[in-house]
Amino acid sequence: MTLKELYQTVGGDYDQAIKVLRMDKLIDKHIRKLPGSTVFSDLASAGEAMDPVGLFESAHAIKGVCSNLGLVGLARIAADLSEEFRPGKERKLSDEQVSELVKGLIDMYDMTSKAISVYSEG
């Protein structure tokens, strides 16, 4: 699997990643680190506890990393979560809706991580 095929598989935006990181070598270096990132397990833990600070910080970090890597689906859900828990803003979603967003993000991350593992082995 090539890097561009990986992006097609996960519904990412390769062109966005190349605009930010400027070369395949850097995209490759950083995307291979994503499956080992603890920020997704931090988000899951914060979601279980409905910890607003943990949810904001984890979601905000995920949004930044995934935006830079062109992983638009992950970045979009993370952006929704980070805005929901941005300090000073009133919440609009129920705990159940937040749990569904967290679950959706973790499921998408798991799918993306599996595809990255296939890419890394190839």
Residue 122: is its pLDDT beyond 90? no
DSSP 8-state code for residue 91? P
Q: Which long-range contacts (CB under 8 A, 24 or more apart) does 55-64 make?
A: 55/81, 55/82, 55/84, 55/85, 55/98, 55/102, 56/81, 56/82, 56/85, 56/86, 56/87, 59/85, 59/105, 62/105
Please report, rounded to a whole number, the percentage of residues in the chain having pLDDT higher than 70.
100
Instruction: Provide CB contacts within 8 A for 89, sequence distance 6+.
Output: 83
What's the whole-number average pLDDT of the chain? 97
Q: For residues 59-74, give the mean pLDDT.
A: 98
pLDDT in tens, 71-80: 999 999 999 9
Question: How does DSSP classify residue 45?
Answer: H
Q: Between the CA of residue 122 and those of 3, 5, 30, what are the distances in Å?
A: 10, 12, 17
The arithmetic mean of pLDDT across residues 87-114, rounded, is 97
3-state secondary structure of 66: helix
* pLDDT score for 118: 96
Residue 103 pLDDT exceeds 90: yes
Q: What per-residue confidence (pLDDT) applies to 38?
A: 96
CATH fold of 3-121 reads Four Helix Bundle (Hemerythrin (Met), subunit A) (1.20.120)
Residue 100's pLDDT is 97
Report pLDDT digits (tens) over 2-49.
999 999 999 999 999 999 999 999 999 999 999 999 999 999 999 999
